[in-house]
Structures are given as C-alpha cells and as structure tokens.
Structure 1
C-alpha cells in the first residue's frame, strides 16, 4: 500500500479567480460557429530568439519554478520591448532556454540563465492559466 503525505506537506497552489465559461456550442455546430475558436495552433510550441546588449533588460517578467510545480511562465511583457516585438505574450510557458529544460527548474536558476545570456533562444507555448503563479521577476 502506498504511503500518503500528510495534508500539510502538499504544496500550496493558488488558483486564478473564477471566470464564467463560454456558452456551450454543440460539437456539430463548432466548425462554423462565430463564437467558437477553432484555431488551436496558438497553443503549439514556438521558438523566440532575443539578443540582449550588456546592461539591457529583455522586457518581460517570469513567475513559477520548481517550488510551485507549475513550470516557468511569462507573467508580463513590456509593451514595445524586444520581447514584445519577438512575439512573447503573457501566459507563455517557457519550455527551454538555450537548450536548458525550464519545465522543472528552480526560479532563481531560471532568472540567472535569462539575465546572464546575451543571445537567448526560447522554446515557449501559450498556456493562458498562468495568472495563478507568484514571485514575478523583471528580466
């Protein structure tokens, strides 16, 4: 029989505020229904390349990390920054940076990698429920 952790040992996860779900659209009506989004490519992983001059910031904040068990996410993108122009958006999950896996990385290590690199190749995917994460850092 599997031993269970005491209730107090589970991590605390803060959920986003409740949002009313969209109206139900029957499956046979979804393809051409104006209120149903059939475009799922926005959730596919994509690559973003950024170059950072010495002393400059990349123009985005990150949240999350290994302690939250939710990964690293973009929590804010500064308008008109290089990150904004490259296509980063709030809610992107950072999958990797310069071939370093970011799906199970400490927050501080992620910040260190992003701040010290001069050229950054990020693999990201849009995941819009990342607003529940804490500890933002401007990169």
Structure 2
C-alpha cells in the first residue's frame, strides 16, 4: 500500500511577496553612508517599569496574539506605557520575571491586568512588524 499523501491534500501556504534587498554598500563607505546605521543599541533588551494606581486598567498596552513573542501592537500616545518607553514593535521577553516566550495570549493578558507594578524586559524588533500588523489587524 502506498503511504504517500495525495498532492491535493497538502495545506496551501502563501508566502509574502519577494522584496529586493537594498543596494550593496562597500564596507569602506558604510560609516559615512546615510542609509547605513552603526547604532544598534536600540535593539538591545531594556527594562520598562509601569506602576498602575489602584483601579487602573491595563488598556494602555495591547498584546498581539503572536506565539513567538508578545509584540505590542498599540501603545496609546501620552500614556504611562508610552512615557515609560514602550513602543510599537517591542517584543516582550519577560514580565515580572515570567518568561513571555511562547506564552498563551490569555495568560499574558491576565498577568498584565492583575499586576500593580509591571517590570518588562523588552527589545525593539521591527523586522517584518508592519507586515505582520497588516495581516492581524482587520
């Protein structure tokens, strides 16, 4: 008996449109080129601390349903989260020492809603963020 799966039974996978890479810049010109940025500190993990007053809601920050990391899709301008330094495209690595990698969305929301003081270890990771946002926001 043939154990191969018929071709029509395979799932359909849609790949994103191909984007051409940026033009190559010779190494000796990169330091002075306006399209090349050597400043990488914005991508390092950092700690963002939020303190909520009693009765306050955690609606200032909205986690997406990403299962790789929790990406913050929306940070309300001029909110405590915004003033603390949280920004769109931040990946939450941990909250109050709870690892947020592969965390269930409902558990992430529960932690963020119940904690009075939130200490987040985040990193800015904009790679493909806007394309992912377009796919998930309806």
With normalisation by structure 1, the TM-score equals 0.76
**Larger RCO: 1 or 2 (CA < 8 Å, sep 6+):** 1
The whole-number CA distance in structure 1 between the counterparts of 2:102 and 2:74 is 20
Structure 2, gaps ≥5 residues long? 1-8
Tell me which moved more, 31-40 or 119-128: 31-40
SS in 2 for 1:42: helix
Larger radius of gyration: 2
Stretches of structure 1 that go unaligned for 5 or more consecutive residues are: 1-5
Matched residue, 2:61: 60
The structure in which a higher percent of residues are strand is 1
**Aligned counterparts of 2:55 and 2:15: Cα–Cα separation in 1:** 34
Question: In the aligned structure 2, how far is the partner of 1:135 from the partner of 1:114?
Answer: 21
Q: Shift of residue 24 of structure 1?
A: 3.1
TM-score by length of 2: 0.76
Give the match for residue 129 of structure 2: 130
**Which of 101, 105, 118 is equivalent to 1:107?**
105
